[in-house]
Amino acid sequence: MSIDMATLALMGAAQALLMAVVLWTSTGSYAGVARASLRLRAGAQALEAAAWGLLGLRGHVADWLSIPVANAVMLVSYAMTVHALRMLLGAPSRLRMVAVASVAGWLAIVWYTWGATSFQARMVCASLVIMLDLALLIAPLLDSLRRDGSAAKRVLLATLAIAVAIVLWRNAEPLLSSRPATGLLVPTPINAIYMMFSAMQPLFTSVGFLLLYNETMQAELRLLARTDPLTGVNNRLALIETIGRLLDAAGSSGRPLGVLMLDVDHFKAVNDRFGHGGGDRVLLSLVERIQRALSHGDVIGRVGGEEFVVLSPGNDLCRTRALGERIRTEVERAQLVFDGHVLGMTVSVGVTEAAPGENDVTALLQRADAALYAAKHAGRNRVVTTGDVAGVPPASA
């Protein structure tokens, strides 16, 4: 079977171009960093198509086009891909390092093309830059090897690992076989494998990238659906999920879970006096105050207009009451200044505890709510535990 290398290179170009169009047309479905990254990756894919096109046309176009220009375009395409992926994953871009290596590598390629003519040296120079790019692409994907790692990252990691293996083999082969390295379009087995992989790589990497953009968007949506837009803390949905998880953990560890429900006193008067915008600022300040009193592991969520819940894993009724008292004092001490007016604020707090083994989220919140109601009823600006409320047990197992 004879394989025409130029045809493979042109197939790779066509495939890369098609994937560039697919990626570009998908950009409309994404926003923010994902969109910027996807555009960059689509551009990189288009440049890769151009590079493979020029490489495949060797002999039909001028050498300066099919060697230095094609290599420059390929190196820029790799650099853009590195930037696109690392930007998406929040890794440092390393753009300067990539730029310096790419320019140095390209100058060496030009030198070994027209100065000291050596295909093998040219190949090694291009490979060194590509290996650096591959390492920078692979590094932020390694966490996908964990048991619960991302499937999209694994697809990309596998594709890039194969690329590393093939680049290494292509460079090692002339040394091991004592045959000089030959131009890419010469049909040797390693060239055929290299070209076949390069023709397929755009498809695999694009699938990996698209899966990754999807995962990123889903994670963002998940976070949005669970975050209170005003204060940035957990919303009711997230809080209910967290209580369920913490109750399970309390069941297996045998430790209690403290629960506080708190509500701003006379908040309507704040709105009436300072308007809804002023009320919103008070809520933001309140959350900041509450968070100051929390310890590592405590969780806060907003469950109503001016009603918040704090979960304190490992704390029994007595310690949770102490936490409630700290929050109450912290809020009472805060002096907010609005348009020259000093505004004092207080909260009423209901405290309960989930005994190990308890798993009824609704009953737990109802108990905290009953204690909060009792605190309001008793005059506000106080902490009441379920133990203090007649008819409400401190905890139910």
Ligand X SMILES: Nc1nc2c(ncn2[C@@H]2O[C@H](COP(=O)(O)OP(=O)(O)OP(=O)(O)O)[C@@H](O)[C@H]2O)c(=O)[nH]1
Q: What's the min distance (Å) between Cβ of 385 and ligand X?
A: 19
Site mask for ligand X (CB under 6 A), range 341-380, x = bound: -----------------------------------x---x
What is the CB neighbour count within 10 angstroms for residue 128?
16
Q: Which of these segments, 32-40, 242-250, 253-261, 274-282, binds ligand X (CB under 6 A)?
A: 274-282
Nearer to ligand X, 326 or 376 (CB): 376
Choice between 83 and 382, CB closer to ligand X: 382
Counting residues that bind ligand X (by CB under 6 A) gives 16
State the minimum distance, in angstroms, from the CB of residue 212 to ligand X: 36
Q: Does 394 bind ligand X (CB under 6 A)?
A: no
| Strand-pair partners of 262 | 308, 349
Nearer to ligand X, 71 or 235 (CB): 235
The reply to whether 230 sits near ligand X by the rule CB under 6 A is yes
CB 85 within 8 A of CB 52: no
Contact call for residue 264 and ligand X (CB under 6 A): yes
Which one of 35-43, 212-220, 247-255, 261-269 is the stretch in contact with ligand X (CB under 6 A)?
261-269
| Sequence-ordered list of residues with C-beta below 8 angstroms from that of 369, at least 6 positions apart, any chain | 261, 350
CB-nearer residue toward ligand X: 266 or 341: 266
**Of these, 43, 279, 313, 324, which contacts ligand X (CB under 6 A)?**
279
Stretch that binds ligand X, among 44-52, 239-247, 249-257, 264-272 (CB under 6 A): 264-272
Cβ distance 353 to 257 under 8 Å?
yes
Q: Does the active-site annotation cover 307? A: no
Cα–Cα distances in angstroms (integers) from residue 52 to residues 66, 121, 183, 298, in the given order: 9, 20, 14, 55
CB of 31 or CB of 269, closer to ligand X: 269
Active-site choice (48, 306, 330, 358): 306
- When asked if residue 215 is in the footprint of ligand X (CB under 6 A), the reply is no
Residue 276 near ligand X by CB under 6 A: yes
Site membership for ligand X, residue 332 (CB under 6 A): no
- CB of 331: closest distance to ligand X in angstroms? 13
In the complex with ligand X, the residue whose CB is nearer, 265 or 298, is 265
336 binds ligand X (CB under 6 A): no
Write each residue from 290 to 329 as x if it is in contact with ligand X (CB under 6 A), else as -, in one continuous string: ---------------xx-----------------------
Q: What does the binding site for ligand X look like in residue numbers (CB under 6 A)?
A: 230, 263-268, 271, 276, 279-280, 283, 305-306, 376, 380
Catalytic residue positions, numbered = 306
